[in-house]
Amino acid sequence: MSRNQLWLLLLLVLLSCIADSVSTMNQQKDRSIKSAVFLSPPFFLHPGSVANKFYFNIPFPKGHIALKSFDAEVIDENGIPVPLHETYLHHWIIERYYGRKESLADGNSELKAFNHSNFIWMRNAGICKGTLGQYYGLGSETRRTSTWVPDPYGIEVGNPEKIPDGYKEKWLLNVHAIDTRGVEDRFGCTECKCSLYNVTMDEFGRALPKDYDGGLHCCYDQTQCQVRAGIQNVSRILYLKYTVKWLNWVENIIPVKIYIFDVTYSGEHSVDPSKENPLNLSCKVEYEIKSCKDNGGCVDTKRTQLVIPTGGDIVYGVAHQHSAGLGATLYGQDGRVLCTSNPTYGDGEEAGNEAGYIVGMSTCYPKPGSVQVVDGEMLTLESNYSSNQAHTGVMGLFYVLVAEAVPKSKTMLFLSFPGSLDLGLTKHTWSFVLAGGMLTAIFGISYLCKRGRRKPYQPLVLT
């Protein structure tokens, strides 16, 4: 990528930030939604290759805030959205952690070299020990799936009172993408079929079980899916562009807990997840669909039961499935439907409408107070897939946001509280955050471009 292209890209990002800030500044200050667009460091793909990157301390809004949405997509070096049939976005996730202030191991160090005493992982409220601790995360459906947290709710982060002395709150971005240009079997590569990757050992060099036909343990960073003979090997530079929306934290925002439920949950708890083989965790994250022998129209239904530790109002819900997914439902203990999330399949070529891929998942926004769960309620998660063909590495996750039921007296207080404490500062704080974020992005990117291709990242199981 030439220097000019890079700066054009950064300028575009900057301009869109300024446009957002101008429009937000015209709104009432204390309640205005802030918005910023950031780019991940660049990653490099050629036909059949896989990138599974972990970027520490990514640019992120600072301060005590309520996250309202986090949207992302893959773009090329000219800022153009890249369709899934070229770069399949298996997933992106963001994780929150407290890192030591003086730690130099930011950004791009190898995970292996990480001193874990410099980290405190701040996982979500979910019950999958050792995995699925993210705050937000989506895959191919990212362009057409709402991540908006409805009013008056927000995901509270950056509360200075909760950050231990000597630490700073930071964010990790994990991007997993597969370049399927010129491959033999496009959906086989996106489903991480081990045979297509010629992989028999996981990324740590451990032999995979004989019956493991496909999934993330066969398409880790720098693996290679089989390409057709004679194709042109054109490599490309890609970025994850992410847009964060947030509010300054004020009393009248109601915090929500994030739960991510997994249909592979088996209830077996491992003693020390960090030392566990990921294949032994109680949430396997992925599963396989066997092909049915009938003439078609077969549905594979997988169900699991799980206990939600703390109840409240469900204010948002969405499922995550892979191609061939037919929808997922979360039920309460008495069988009532808490939320159903269905996929939208594309039927074209262009980014956001790619034929055969899940390009969006429907979301639930129950009227506040209308869908409740109680502490310790036994829920059932159900995930349906078409089983006309076999599939490997499929997922059935359900992401829900739960607000603790609000005492009536507090509700009254909200109505009379104008939230005017931080008036006056808002505009300056905002400009400062914006400038800081953009500078970080600009310096980060130009630094990375100078350094060129990075060392490979080591995989991890996040707690």
Ligand X SMILES: *[C@@H]1O[C@H](CO)[C@@H](O)[C@H](O)[C@H]1NC(C)=O
Contact residues: ligand X, CB under 6 A = 46, 100, 115, 117-118, 198, 233, 235, 276-277, 280, 299, 301, 326-329, 340, 382, 384
CB 412: neighbour CB atoms within 10 A?
10
Question: Taking Cα atoms as reference points, which of 23, 25, 22, 20 lies closest to residue 35?
Answer: 20
Q: Based on CB atoms, which residue is closest to ligand X, 123 or 284?
A: 284
- 90 closest CA partner among 260, 212, 248, 240: 240
**389 Cβ partners below 8 Å, 6+ apart?**
291, 324
Find the shortest distance in angstroms from Cβ 344 to ligand X.
14
Shortest Cβ 440–ligand X spacing (Å): 23
Smallest gap from Cβ 143 to ligand X, in A, equals: 22
Contacts of residue 92, defined as CB under 8 A and 6 or more positions apart, other chains included, come to 72, 137, 138, 139, 142, 173, 174, 175, 176, 240, 242
* Closer residue to ligand X, CB minimum distance, 46 or 64: 46
Work out how close the CB of 45 gets to ligand X at its nearest, in angstroms, rounded to a whole number: 9
For 209, residues 6+ apart whose C-beta sits below 8 A from its C-beta are 279
Residue placing its CB nearer to ligand X in the complex, 11 or 299: 299
Using an 8 Å Cβ cutoff, are 421 and 253 in contact?
Answer: no
Which C-beta is closer to ligand X: that of 117 or that of 295? 117
Q: Is 350 exposed, middle or buried (0-12, 13-18, 19+ CB in 10 A)?
A: exposed
Q: Match 């927000």 to its residue by tokens.
A: 154
Token output for 88: 């399949």
Given the complex with ligand X, which of 242 and 457 has the nearer CB atom? 457
Q: Considering beta carbons, is residue 32 or 384 the nearer one to ligand X?
A: 384
Beta carbon nearer to ligand X, 226 or 372: 226
Q: How far is the CB of 272 from ligand X (least distance, A)?
A: 9
Minimum distance, C-beta of residue 115 to ligand X, in the bound complex (Å) = 4
Nearer of residues 47 and 312 to ligand X, judged by Cβ = 47
Q: Which of 221, 184, 204, 168 is nearest to 56 (CA)?
A: 168
Consecutive H or E run containing 413: helix 408-416
Query: Whole-number minimum distance, CB 299 to ligand X, in Å?
Result: 4
Residues in the chain, overall count: 463
Dihedral class, residue 3 (left if φ above 0, else alpha if ψ from -120 to 50, else beta): alpha
**357 token code pair:** 């891929």
What is the CB-side half-sphere exposure of residue 224 using CA atoms within 13 A?
A: 6
Minimum distance between the CB of residue 22 and ligand X, rounded to whole angstroms?
41
